[in-house]
């Protein structure tokens, strides 16, 4: 099977992102939605985030608001299983090579007229590796249009520098627009219908706004690496059993492919525990996106 044309691959290599139509069948999409509804139903009894669900600002048990299903592949087997669907696997092996390892994933949920923004960042800042054959795929559960806070990317930025993701002296997983002089004037919106798949390179500058529309925006993201890309930062470095268990296809290589690339380690760690991107980015001194009214 070859889902991607040579032009698609050239586009991805040059611009750092891609939209793949019809990644999921209608039935697969329905299952993905049903699984997610089932995961989120529990929020009605929750007053604080736990290891699986991260509550959003303004959450009340009677009006639940969840912004993330954490560690998606471990939260529900279907989230992991869809990585082996032929169309998805074919895209992964075309872009990453014959062995592919899962790094992590989540379902990011932006409630209508709400939804915590994702500040500009590069995934590479969170998990630098020995080479940068890493990417994230996004599977929108809802049509992701201009109105409901689509993923924003800066084409070509995956070939540029790695930005400082610290603020106030600590790694906060977001880029301080004042301190770094961040310029995102060339950003484009990655719109995609439900059932399609987005792809963005690990060094891509990306983020997303709050959701100003009446429609939800839910996207399952999985992060993946070539089997010969070894993590430079914990967690995961040197945990062979974990690396092996996380292979989507092929074996982890014991001879990491080393490429000279710009790297910054995700340190120093914040003294306040912040286990997700949103929690870390709360410490960003100069955010780029406004927060929803209820979040203030």
Q: Smallest distance, Å, CB 118 to ligand AKG?
A: 4
Q: Which is nearer to ligand AKG, 118 or 182 (CB)?
A: 118
DSSP string, 78-129: HHHHGGGSHHHHHHHHHHH-S-EEEEEEEEEEE-TT----EEEE-GGGTS-B
Q: Smallest distance, Å, CB 253 to ligand AKG?
A: 26
Q: Smallest distance, Å, CB 149 to ligand AKG?
A: 7
Which positions touch ligand AKG (CB under 6 A)? 108, 118, 151, 206, 208, 219, 221, 277
Q: Smallest distance, Å, CB 168 to ligand AKG?
A: 21
Q: Which is nearer to ligand AKG, 83 or 219 (CB)?
A: 219
Contacts with 238 (C-beta within 8 Å, 6 or more apart), sequence order = none
Q: Which is nearer to ligand AKG, 90 or 209 (CB)?
A: 209
Phi, psi of 125 (to 5 degrees): -70, -25
71 in Cβ contact with 104 (< 8 Å): yes
Q: Smallest distance, Å, CB 109 to ligand AKG?
A: 9
**Listed residue (145, 221, 147, 224) closest to 190, CA to CA:** 145
Q: Which is nearer to ligand AKG, 160 or 250 (CB)?
A: 160
Under DSSP, the state recorded for 287 is -
Under DSSP, the state recorded for 130 is S
Q: Smallest distance, Å, CB 110 to ligand AKG?
A: 7
Percentages (nearest 5) of helix, strand, coil residues in the chain: 25, 25, 50
Q: Which is nearer to ligand AKG, 36 or 108 (CB)?
A: 108
* Cis amide bond preceding 268, omega within 30: yes
Residue nearest to ligand AKG (CB): 208
Q: Which is nearer to ligand AKG, 184 or 249 (CB)?
A: 184
């Amino acid at each position: 099977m070859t889902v991607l044309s040579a032009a698609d691959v050239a586009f991805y290599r040059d611009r750092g992102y891609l939209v793949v139509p019809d990644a999921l069948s209608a039935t697969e999409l329905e299952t993905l939605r049903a699984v997610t509804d089932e995961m989120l139903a529990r929020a009605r009894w929750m007053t604080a985030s736990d290891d699986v669900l991260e509550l959003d600002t303004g959450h009340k048990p009677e009006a639940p608001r969840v912004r993330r299903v954490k560690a998606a592949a471990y939260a529900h087997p279907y989230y992991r299983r869809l990585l082996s669907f032929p169309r998805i696997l074919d895209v992964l092996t075309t872009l990453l090579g014959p062995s592919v390892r899962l790094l992590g994933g989540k379902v990011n949920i932006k409630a209508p007229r709400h939804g915590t923004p994702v500040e500009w960042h590069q995934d590479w800042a969170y998990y630098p590796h020995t080479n940068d054959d890493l990417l994230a795929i996004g599977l929108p559960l809802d049509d992701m249009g201009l109105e409901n806070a689509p993923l924003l990317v800066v084409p070509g930025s995956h070939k540029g520098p790695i930005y400082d993701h610290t603020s106030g002296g600590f790694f906060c997983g977001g880029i301080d627009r004042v301190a770094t002089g961040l310029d995102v004037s060339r950003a484009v919106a990655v719109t995609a219908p439900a059932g399609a798949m987005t792809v963005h390179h690990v060094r891509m500058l990306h983020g997303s706004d709050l959701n100003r529309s009446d429609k939800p925006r839910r996207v399952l993201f999985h992060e993946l690496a070539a089997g010969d890309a070894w993590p430079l930062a914990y967690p995961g470095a040197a945990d062979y059993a974990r690396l092996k268990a996380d292979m989507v296809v092929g074996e982890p290589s014991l001879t990491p492919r080393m490429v000279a690339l710009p790297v910054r380690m995700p340190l120093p760690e914040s003294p306040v525990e912040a286990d997700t991107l949103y929690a870390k980015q709360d410490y960003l001194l100069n955010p780029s996106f406004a927060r929803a009214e209820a979040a203030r």
